[in-house]
């Protein structure tokens, strides 16, 4: 099967199932990207059109951050910055879909904002406890010339080790991910050496979804219907067969063909 930039979304399969004709077609992405990356008077207009065309992609990622205390409109603007970076840096010679490339940049822009700009609030209890722990530590350092353990400090302040650790962590200065990771070496930022497993898995899931949608767009209509009913609407093979007017055996055979087709496509 041929892989390209024609990114037909899952909506195609849904509309095929309902008999609709409206499609959200991203086939203009390549043409607009060529114009947007060029040095012509039409570049700005092409960039604007690309942003509008891919607003749904930004929205789907921004929705994942909506419960973190930031206004959704702000999230959309931040995500759009990531989309603009993708538009500027996308390599037209890539064999991947533009949206596949844009997802990590949009996600990264939102994640970076939440870490660098999001408010960090420390409760009064932990502020007071942190101050008491630091005073106790400083006294021991001055009187005995040694650095006490967290357990020792917790015992002296009559709190648990867990509470002491949390309070001392709350008292630590905030470090930006854009700070140097190795002191004087400004070429390496802290963000580049700290693993972000949550972000990576989220990006991987989104990328997989886009890749599956690309594969589905090249399948026969009946295969797309079977996938929608079986794996997105959780219907049984018998229910799927009744809705499509075929036998359960036919559904089972087609499913095996679909799985083999996907295996071949992704290999």
What are the structure tokens assigned to 98, written together? 């533009």
CB-based contact 34:44 (threshold 8 Å): no
| Distance separating alpha carbons of residues 95 and 9, to the nearest angstrom | 17
- Is the dihedral angle over the CA atoms 70, 74, 75, 79 positive or is it negative? negative
What domains are there in the chain, each with its CATH number? 1-119 (1.20.120.1810), 219-267 (1.10.10)
Task: Give residue 102's pLDDT.
Answer: 87
Task: Give residue 125's pLDDT.
Answer: 79
Task: Give residue 200's pLDDT.
Answer: 54
Task: Classify 38 as helix, strand or coil.
Answer: coil
The number of beta carbons lying within 10 Å of the beta carbon of residue 11 is: 15
Task: Give residue 12's pLDDT.
Answer: 39
Task: Give residue 80's pLDDT.
Answer: 92
**Spans of the chain, pLDDT less than 50:** 1-25, 174, 193
What are the structure tokens assigned to 258, written together? 């679909």
Q: pTM, whole model, 2 decimals?
A: 0.43
Task: Give residue 76's pLDDT.
Answer: 92
Q: Any alpha helices (H) in the chain, and if so which ranges?
A: 10-18, 29-36, 43-53, 55-62, 72-89, 98-116, 124-144, 150-156, 161-171, 197-217, 221-227, 237-244, 248-266
192: closest CA among 170, 209, 176, 174?
176
What are the structure tokens assigned to 243, written together? 């809705």
Task: Give residue 121's pLDDT.
Answer: 53
What are the structure tokens assigned to 168, written together? 């001392």
């Amino acid at each position: 099967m041929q892989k390209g930039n024609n990114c037909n979304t899952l909506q195609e399969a849904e509309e095929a199932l309902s008999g609709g004709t409206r499609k959200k077609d991203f086939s203009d992405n390549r043409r607009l990207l060529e114009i947007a990356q060029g040095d012509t008077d039409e570049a700005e207009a092409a960039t604007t059109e690309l942003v509008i065309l891919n607003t749904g992609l930004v929205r789907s990622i921004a929705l994942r951050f909506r419960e973190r205390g930031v206004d959704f409109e702000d999230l959309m603007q931040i995500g759009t910055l990531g989309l603009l970076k993708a538009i500027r840096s996308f390599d037209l010679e890539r064999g991947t879909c533009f949206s596949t490339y844009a997802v990590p940049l949009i996600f990264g822009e939102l994640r970076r904002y939440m870490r660098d700009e999001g408010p960090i609030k420390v409760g009064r209890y932990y502020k007071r406890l942190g101050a008491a722990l630091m005073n106790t530590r400083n006294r021991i350092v001055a009187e005995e010339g040694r650095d006490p353990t967290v357990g020792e400090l917790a015992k002296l302040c009559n709190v648990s080790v867990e509470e002491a650790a949390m309070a001392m962590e709350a008292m630590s200065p905030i470090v930006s991910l854009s700070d140097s990771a190795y002191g004087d070496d400004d070429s390496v930022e802290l963000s580049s050496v700290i693993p972000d497993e949550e972000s990576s898995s989220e990006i991987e899931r989104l990328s997989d979804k886009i890749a599956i949608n690309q594969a589905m767009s090249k399948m026969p209509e009946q295969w797309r219907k079977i996938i929608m009913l079986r794996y997105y609407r959780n219907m049984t093979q018998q229910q799927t067969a009744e809705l499509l007017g075929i036998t359960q055996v036919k559904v089972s055979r087609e499913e095996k063909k679909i799985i083999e087709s996907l295996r071949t496509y992704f290999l």
